[in-house]
Amino acid sequence: MSLERASLNQYTTKPLSLIEAADACVRHGIPAIGVWRDKLAAVGLPTARRELAARDLRVSSVSRGGFFPGRDAATRRANREENLRAIEETAALGAQVLVLVCGPTLGTNIGDARAQIAEGIDVLVPHARAAGVLLGIEPLHPMLVAERSAVTTLAEANDLVARIGAQDVVGVVIDAYHVFWDARLEAELERASGTIFGYHVADWTTPHGAPDIAAARALMGEGYIDLATLGGWVTRAGYRGPVEVEVLNTRLWAGDQEQLLREVVTRFERYVAPSVLVSN
Amino acid sequence: MSLERASLNQYTTKPLSLIEAADACVRHGIPAIGVWRDKLAAVGLPTARRELAARDLRVSSVSRGGFFPGRDAATRRANREENLRAIEETAALGAQVLVLVCGPTLGTNIGDARAQIAEGIDVLVPHARAAGVLLGIEPLHPMLVAERSAVTTLAEANDLVARIGAQDVVGVVIDAYHVFWDARLEAELERASGTIFGYHVADWTTPHGAPDIAAARALMGEGYIDLATLGGWVTRAGYRGPVEVEVLNTRLWAGDQEQLLREVVTRFERYVAPSVLVSN
């Protein structure tokens, strides 16, 4: 099995700088990296461009745009400016996709948050199109609705994509960890065909959540997610792009990162690569 | 505002025995109680019947039936026997509804679990009908898919109800805590009209989950759930039955239960009762 489709989302190895993570990718034969903006800022855009190019590493995505909801117009305007900067950085890195984590509910008003998310994405469309950047709406697990994203299912993300009506620019990112539980997943993946802009893998273990539900993901094959079936559905829906390993886990961050990368590679080859093979 | 529709799910006051919880209901003017089978077993069915009748307390529901999936036929048979006993106990207590927590995924096979759940409920239908007991499928929050329930959305529960096709006996139980995040909730509540067999309230706070995601619920009004809107939708869908306060929370269990009950009453009157008022 091959690492051809593999990408390391750099938050899997959060203790490493962007350059260190890039070196690790080269060392372990991973041809692409998912970049986070805080890590990018730490090294600076010119250095990042130069160093990634020197290593011939592709950038599979930039995390993250989004966080559209705000309690007042000034906050929402600031959010928009931040998203425009994120689009520029994504283009400057030669990355195709800016991942949108759409932002949390505002108090009890999930409906308001959802309306502001739709409006927020809509405004970005011409800018993204001009920059040649795809905007990938990533539905997050419903347990994160109050803290991270009011967009909680692929159905809802697909509805948003249809409503915005700019499928050349606005699509979805599928993260196995966030969507695996959904009884309508297969049907919604089929519906998303042509607008899947990314596929992320991790696993889900129990007891879940401690100590931090936002950073309790497991390595592929450790838990309950049927990555073989899910990868098949994503592939059948026509997705042929990079597959990012994105395992946010406080325990793994505290451990040896070289050992972690060896595990990532072995588990990608075993649990992910066969499922995204395209038969001829 | 009134407590007319209120019920105390006894796991809100888990440290109390069934008799102690019943006394607390009387003391605080709550006319109904949601009984758990472990608490029932501790006091015994004959005593429970007599003591609840003596206090003129209605039993709004019995928790819980379900847990249908099993790795082999013998386990599934044992699960069925357990559910038949739960139906008998529900009837013996004069409770209308047995709450079904349908059971977790089996390893990575969510699909298998879902098929076994559908089959498991189907088999119970004639027994429930004969006993005059309603079976309420409660979709649980997707974060509990691997540990408690492969039925994670009201859409999925509604699909199950339609597929089983015994709407005089098999319907759904709506728990605000489990479903509030769902963008399709209003539409699915409308679809559930006529088969809503219960409504439970609690709240969702952040950071969520610690130390135990299964027992981290908050009191009504403390968090992110728009109970006013949700109660309105449930009422518009035709539900007129008891509204159970079900707040599973390890911190509250460790505190003073009388104080907790005073809070439950005050918050029910403020955040729940107005939303389930039926206008004439």
pLDDT tens digits for B83-122? Answer: 999 999 999 999 999 999 999 998 889 999 999 999 999 9
Q: pTM to 2 decimals?
A: 0.95
Asked whether the beta carbons of residue A207 and residue B147 sit closer than 8 angstroms, the reply is yes
Q: pLDDT band at A104, cuts 50/70/90?
A: very high
The minimum CA-CA distance between A108 and chain B, rounded to whole Å, is 4
Q: Are A71 and A46 in contact (CB under 8 A)?
A: no
Look over chain A and give the mean of its residue pLDDT values, rounded to a whole number: 96
pLDDT at A106: 86
Q: Are B162 and B122 in contact (CB under 8 A)?
A: no
Query: Does pLDDT of A225 surpass 50?
Result: yes
pLDDT at B43: 98
> Contacts from A213-217 at CB under 8 Å and sequence distance 24+?
A213/A143, A213/A144, A213/B143, A213/B207, A213/B208, A213/B209, A213/B213, A214/A144, A214/A147, A214/A148, A214/A248, A215/A248, A215/A249, A215/A250, A215/A253, A216/A248, A216/A249, A216/A250, A217/A177, A217/A246, A217/A247, A217/A248, A217/A249
Nearest to B224 among A146, A159, A204 (CB): A146
Please state, in angstroms and as integers, the Cα–Cα distance from residue B209 to each residue in B176, B183, B214, B223, following that order. 16, 22, 8, 13
Give the residue from A110, A205, A217, A271 with the most B CB atoms within 10 Å of its CB, the best one to mutate.
A110
Please, is B20 exposed, middle or buried when counting C-beta atoms within 10 Å of its C-beta (0-12, 13-18, 19+)? middle
Closest C-alpha among A242, A176, A253 to residue A32:
A242
The predicted model gives B178-194 an average pLDDT of 98
Closest C-alpha among A88, A33, A87 to residue A56:
A33
* pLDDT tens per residue across span B205-243: 988 776 677 788 999 999 999 999 999 999 999 999 999
Asked whether the beta carbons of residue A213 and residue B213 sit closer than 8 angstroms, the reply is yes
Please state, in angstroms and as integers, the Cα–Cα distance from residue A130 to each residue in A124, A125, A134, B197, following that order. 10, 9, 10, 53
For chain B, report the end-to-end CA distance as a whole number of angstroms. 16
d(CA A25, CA A225): 25
Asked whether the beta carbons of residue B155 and residue A206 sit closer than 8 angstroms, the reply is no
* pLDDT tens per residue across span A236-245: 999 999 999 9
Q: CB A250: neighbour CB atoms within 10 A?
A: 14
